Amino acid sequence: MKSKIVSIGPIDESAVKILEPYGEFILSKTTKEQSLVEMVTDAVALIVRGDGAITRPIIEAASHLKVIGRTGVGYDNIDIGAATERKVPVVFTPGANARVVAEASMALVLAHCKRIVYWDRQLKSGNWASRNNFSTLDMEESTLGIVGFGQIGRIVSQLAAPFNMRIIAHDPYVSKETAKSFEVELTSLESLLNQADFICLHAVLTDKTKGLINRNNLKLVKKGSFLINLARGPLIESLDILDEALETGILAGVGLDVFSPEPPDTTHSIFNRENCLTAPHSLAMTKRSMLKVFIQMAEDMAAVLDGQHPRHSVNPEVFD
């Protein structure tokens, strides 16, 4: 029986061609665990993107499994422990779309700072006189707080620097010297929330960062600040706490490209707010960046299937 490569979610044809020599490519029409368990028995490779998940039962059912591929940098939807126990490397694509994520983060900062959606609606409703409200903000001398100073966070700081913003960051895994090399001041989360006019979340989702922005931490936020999340939905405890913060004026606006769960319940009251800017986890999905993601993932998967080490793996210890 021919080996299979099962993908939970569509990938570009260029990536499919890279993987075709190693098995029959099968695009799953379902993300349900039991259906996938039955589908992967002959799979040598699994691919996951979007809201799919590769759980322990799926990994255990794939007795011939040699590699798991993940598009993007987040891998919270893969049971890494189960894969590592099986000595199955999990490859992912850090950096492939880092710049477009950073660009999207700054786009939301700019949209809020210059109130672009608000002014668009004012003019289209015939309210020319609203221009005298003087409610547009300055980027210069405002403080940008970046939570998570990895590759994306660092690019955000570089994009923000020409606006003469003061830039601070929080990341327990980054040294002050590294941050200083980007002309960024490293500080505690509490201090960042106290000072930042714009808070951009770019942290990796872990057990420690889940619910990082919660009701208690929102009490520390500088009143009238803006919160942007392009990292992972579960970094924020709930939409409820954001809605409350917008209602009370603790937050002046939010920008969300990620949610928990996905898709979110769009009947939630936060989606009726003009100062809540949203996108369906799409702001980094440019044609160019996604092609890079797909090809990088497929090449690393092919390397593993050829008995070589990939460039990027979540669990490199499986090669020891």
How far apart are the C-alpha atoms of 273 and 265, rounded to whole Å? 14
- Per residue in 300-315, pLDDT tens? 999 999 999 999 999 9
Provide the angle, in degrees to the nearest 10, between the axes of the packed helices 98-113 and 116-124.
Answer: 50
pLDDT reported for residue 219: 97
Tokens of 111: 């949209």
> Which domains occur in the chain, in start order?
4-94+288-319 (3.40.50.720), 98-278 (3.40.50.720)
Catalytic, 183? Answer no
C-alpha atoms less than 13 angstroms from C-alpha of 40 in its C-beta half-sphere: 32
- Look over the chain and give the mean of its residue pLDDT values, rounded to a whole number: 96
Q: State yes or no: pLDDT of 1 exceeds 80.
A: no
Q: State yes or no: pLDDT of 50 exceeds 90.
A: no
Catalytic, 281? Answer yes
Give the pLDDT mean for 93-100. Answer: 94
Catalytic, 262? Answer yes
Among the listed residues 38, 183, 262, 274, the single catalytic one is: 262
Q: State yes or no: pLDDT of 200 exceeds 90.
A: yes
Among the listed residues 154, 232, 237, 312, the single catalytic one is: 232
- Per residue in 209-251, pLDDT tens? 999 999 999 999 999 999 999 999 999 999 999 999 999 999 9
How far apart are the C-alpha atoms of 112 and 275, rounded to whole Å? 8
Give the pLDDT mean for 88-108. Answer: 97
pTM given for the model: 0.90
Q: State yes or no: pLDDT of 86 exceeds 90.
A: yes
Q: State yes or no: pLDDT of 285 exceeds 90.
A: yes
pLDDT reported for residue 226: 99
216-222: which pairs have CB atoms within 8 A and are 24 or more residues apart?
217/189, 217/190, 217/193, 218/245, 218/250, 218/251, 219/250, 220/190, 220/193, 220/194, 221/193, 221/194, 221/196, 221/245, 221/250, 221/251, 222/193, 222/194, 222/195, 222/196, 222/197
Among the listed residues 70, 115, 202, 281, the single catalytic one is: 281
Dmax (CA) of the chain: 72
pLDDT reported for residue 2: 78
Asked if 196 contacts 226 with a C-beta cutoff of 8 angstroms, the reply is no
